[in-house]
Chain A
Amino acid sequence: MIKKAFTKEHFVKYVLIAFALSSLLFLFLIFIFILAEGLPLFQKVGLKNIIFGFKWAPTKGSFGIFPMVVSSFLVTFGALIIGAPLGLSCAIYLSEYSGKRLKLFLKPALELLAGIPSVVYGFLGVIYIVPLVRNYFGGAGFSLLATSVILGVMILPTVISISFDSLMSVPKTYREGSFAMGATKWQTIYKVIIPSARSGILASFILGMGRAIGETMAVIMVAGNALRIPTSILDPLRTLTSNIALELAYATGDHRLSLFSTGVVLLVIIMTLNYIANFAIKRRVLK
């Protein structure tokens, strides 16, 4: 009897291992497919002509995505400028000031914010943010500004939950020590808690960037998708993700391959961001 139970345990364990590894397999397959479709064009046209090319006319043989790379980073930093201070303030309030009851109410609300589909954000952006920008700031409304606002709100849940966790993981003794030295609450937060949670907060920003740079649907709806590098925050722009989604439906031949190449560039950027974020988090754990 005992032996049988033992093998059953083993059976369950190996099945679970198989399932756990399958996620790795999916990641691997996605990599293989994107690279297999995306790399041939790099060979044909040249890495430089794609990444640093300014002209995107894939049906006429120009595959430059430099303006989109720049635009992707612009909206990402725009989102960070709006989302990071908001998110960090919210996390500080949640971890340091708010009572238990408010926390119980605010945390689920934030999770709900994370669960709203991006097309809804995009729709709200088109209906409210875009006309607001058009009427009060000028331009078409479909702009870097509108996109940054929408993405800034979209990265809030990521920024808040990760920086909240890192603020909470600051040992209680730090706070007590600081109070014992006669520091006020804000001095404690500003001088002791934030510096100790720094790497986690940084990681939350970087993961927020990853979320912003990968967002597609909402961006297509509010960015205006023009192909030029924007010269002001009121200019329309096109990101790497929206380029793929906009044109995939109609693309054939080299045009299609060029969209996969866009995907390769995007993959590299997101992997780098995630790597940096993981590095920041790990350093905190080791400390």
Chain B
Amino acid sequence: MIDHPDFVIDVQGGGSTAGIQACLNNTVHIGMSSRQLKDEEKRLNQIIICYDGISLVLNPRNPISTLSLKDVRNIFSGKIKNWKELGWIDRRIDAVTREEGSGTRGSFEELVMKGDEIDDGIMVQDSNGSVKEVVATDPYAIGYISLGLVDEKVKAVVIDGIAPSIDAIKLGQYKIVRPFLYVTHGELDDSGKEFINFVLSEVGQNVLKKEGLIGAYD
């Protein structure tokens, strides 16, 4: 912003659907989304600016560190309810998901659930941060959050033998990956183009990488 004093960028929360919707309504020039566009949204142009892994997380006191994708699907669809079935103690699994409409949940449903429904008995939290907080305090919890937010308070789960990491994602080994999109409706004006060029430039990409995301070209 120091280099471009006349640019105005408003930051607004509300999630992927809000970003896409604002763009469809022509309220904004560029909308942002952390999930793939749905079919009815496909008339927007999309620009992938970076990728983000979604990591399954457990409490550090949980001795389990690897799960198969199928285990995860069974936990969240309510078929596996007890840690005993996964080789730990006889205790109910406290699974946590995100709320309906969230981009992270949308991506999780698409990449992990693959058509199975997330069970109604599973707890719901309304942000990556709250999910992380629940998992960090409850030894029997499991949840999923953006890879960039994993720290020592929670333990990232190795899925099908692959630990979620930036390198594993770059190599295409870790599969639970979603794109971060900029979406536009119709042709952009010059300043809009300049902004997107900036984000896709080396400087812009480095800013994203510093946040634990994977660059668009890697």
Contact = CB atoms under 8 A, between A and B. Distances in A.
A73 to B, nearest CB: 18
B47 to A, nearest CB: 22
Interface residues of A, number: 32
Residue of B120, B124, B133 with most partner-chain A CB within 10 A: B124
B94 interface: yes
Interface stretch (A87-95, A201-209, A222-230): A222-230
Contacts of B28: none
Interface stretch (A105-113, A167-175, A245-253, A279-287): A245-253
A225 B124 contact: yes
Given A140-B141, A142-B134, A224 B123 contact: yes
What is the size category of the interface that chain B forms with chain A? 20 to 34
B184 to A, nearest CB: 18
Nearest to A223: B123
Contacts of B18: 249-250, 252
B17 interface: yes
Interface in B124-155: 124-126, 133-134, 137-138, 140-141
Contact of A250 (B102, B125, B134): B102
Interface in A221-260: 224-228, 235-236, 238, 245-247, 249-252, 255
Interface of A: 55-59, 67, 126, 130-131, 134, 138-142, 220, 224-228, 235-236, 238, 245-247, 249-252, 255
21 contacts: A56-B120, A58-B100, A130-B137, A134-B138, A138-B92, A139-B92, A140-B94, A140-B123, A140-B134, A142-B123, A226-B121, A226-B124, A228-B120, A235-B121, A247-B101, A249-B13, A249-B18, A250-B14, A250-B16, A250-B100, A252-B21
